[in-house]
Amino acid sequence: MNTPFLSVRDLRVHFSTEDGVVKAVDGLSFDLAEGRTLGIVGESGSGKSVTNLAILGLHDRDHTAVDGEILLDGKDLLTATERQLERLRGSTMSMIFQDALASLSPFHTIGKQIGETYRKHTGASRPAARSRAVEMLRRVGIPQPDLRVDDYPHQFSGGMRQRAMIAMALVCDPRLLIADEPTTALDVTVQAQIMDLLKDLQQEFGTAIVFITHDLGVISHVADEVLVMYGGRCVERGTRSEVLRTPQHPYTWGLLGSMPSLDGPVDVPLSPIPGLPPSLLNPPSGCRFHPRCAFVAKVPAGLCVTDSPELRVTAGRGAACHLTAGQRREFFTDYATPQPN
Ligand code: SF4
């Protein structure tokens, strides 16, 4: 098997707070090959964004302990210096965040911001950087890019700003792109356009993408593989089709039950997962999902409350749950056919 381009092993990200240690990520492992998209899905506070800040080396170093291993093309990012990381950010690895307006400076033109990123990493001249900015704006579908390159961010619509941020993220042909909820603030039509654009650009550039979202509907459009996070841990992983069609974990069932189905009957009520995400300061004992799980009583000897289920992964597929394979098949079939009103 080829060495993965991005390999994360037993990643732990713990924050020191006045109230104690928050275990935001607690033993996460995954691989990602070039040209593939990994979707990381989970509710707020599940650890998905923290994972990616750790990969980028953007965590608060004074209050955060990061352990484990993050290899990017064989280089260990956790032992890299700040200077080395800075060289990698924007060139080999790049990122897009949810809020383009907050990520773009209001004081500089779009073209200058894209061009400066290019100059910083390639040493290109100003005219060459400007041409590159125009070219990137054209590639992400901004009309009249040779004119709009001199606009300021406030002169762009929300969807155009997001495209401009994608142009900035891809200006140095990064091999890894981390997209953190990049379409959440956009309306559904623009969301779909941005996801199509990312797919097209991925084909063109061969970029590996980590796509973070709380929305399984978005995952179904972009991801090749899916990792479901809950309470700082991976609870399920597999290909997109495996996780969406034959999910193995009650939390994934809950996420699916709480999203509208485009091809299902319109009168099927959505059922949000009851309860709240766990405290990562004092996580629940045993399975972290147990206070919200409807299947605790199906597992003998109170195991869900006392023993943390192990994530066993075979050929990239696995789920961390004490239910037997037969029980999962039976319960998911029941769960997947809610009765209309
Ligand atoms: Fe639910 Fe128990 Fe499985 Fe956790 S281990 S998801 S509590 S059945």
- Left (φ > 0), alpha (ψ -120 to 50) or beta: where does 277 sit? beta
Closest-lying ligand 1 atom to the alpha carbon of residue 309: 5
Sorted by sequence, the CB contacts under 8 Å of residue 81 that are 6+ apart come out as none
How remote is the CA of residue 227 from the centroid of ligand 1, in Å? 17
Atom from ligand 1 closest to the CA of residue 322: 5
In angstroms, what is the span from residue 224 Cα to ligand 1's centroid? Answer: 26
Q: Which residues line ligand 1 (CB under 6 A)?
A: 249-250, 287, 289-290, 293, 295-296, 299, 304, 309, 321-323
Residue 270 pLDDT > 70, yes or no? no
Tens digit of pLDDT for each residue in 11-46?
999 998 899 999 999 999 999 999 999 999 999 889
With cut-offs at 50, 70 and 90, classify the pLDDT of residue 341.
very low
Query: Confidence class of residue 322 from pLDDT cuts 50, 70 and 90?
Result: very high
Residue 263 CB coordination number (10 Å): 4
CA distances from 222 to 82, 228, 287 (A): 31, 15, 29
Query: For 42-59, what is each residue's pLDDT tens digit?
Result: 998 899 889 989 999 988
Taking Cα atoms as reference points, which of 42, 6, 11, 5 lies closest to residue 29?
A: 11
Q: Give yes or no for a contact between 33 and 208, defined as CB atoms under 8 angstroms apart.
A: yes
Task: Assign 202 to helix, strand or coil.
Answer: helix
Mutate to test the pocket of ligand 1, among 299, 327, 332 (most ligand atoms within 8 A of CB): 299
Question: Residue 182 — pLDDT band, cuts 50, 70, 90?
Answer: confident
Q: Contacts for 25-30 with beta carbons within 8 Å, 24 or more apart?
A: 25/50, 25/51, 25/54, 25/232, 25/233, 26/231, 26/232, 26/233, 27/68, 27/233, 28/68, 28/229, 28/232, 28/233, 28/234, 29/234, 30/227, 30/234, 30/237
Tokens 């050929």 found at: 315
Q: What is the mean pLDDT of the chain?
A: 89
Q: What is the pLDDT of residue 155?
A: 95
Ligand 1 geometric centre to CA of 336 (Å): 17
Best mutation site among 273, 322, 327 for ligand 1, i.e. most ligand atoms within 8 A of its Cβ?
Answer: 322
Q: Which pLDDT value is given to residue 258?
A: 82
* Superfamily (CATH) of domain 28-60+81-92+175-341: P-loop containing nucleotide triphosphate hydrolases (3.40.50.300)
Residue nearest to atom 2 of ligand 1 (CA): 304
- Note the pTM of the prediction, 2 decimals: 0.90
Q: What is the pLDDT of residue 140?
A: 87
For residue range 283-295, list pLDDT tens digits in order.
999 999 999 999 9
275: nearest Cα among 257, 289, 265: 289
Task: Provide the angle, in degrees to the nearest 10, between the axes of the packed helices 325-335 and 250-257.
Answer: 10
Is residue 184's pLDDT more than 80? no
Beta strands 37-41 and 225-230 are parallel
Look at residue 97 and tell me whether its pLDDT is greater than 70. Answer: yes
pLDDT of residue 279: 92
Ligand 1 centroid–CA 127 distance in Å is: 59
Of 72-76, 85-89, 100-104, 223-227, the poorest mean pLDDT is in 100-104
Within a 10 A sphere around the Cβ of 99, how many other Cβ atoms? 16
* 125-159: pLDDT as tens digits: 999 999 999 999 998 889 999 999 999 999 999 88
Residues of the chain with CATH 3.40.50.300: 28-60+81-92+175-341
pLDDT at 338: 42
Q: Span 274-286, mean pLDDT?
A: 93
Q: Which atom of ligand 1 is nearest to the CA of 298?
A: 8
Out of 273, 296, 312, 331, mutate this one to test ligand 1's pocket (max ligand atoms within 8 Å of CB): namely 296
Burial track 234-256 (b if 16+ CB lie within 10 A, e otherwise): bbbbbebebbbeebbbbbbbbbb
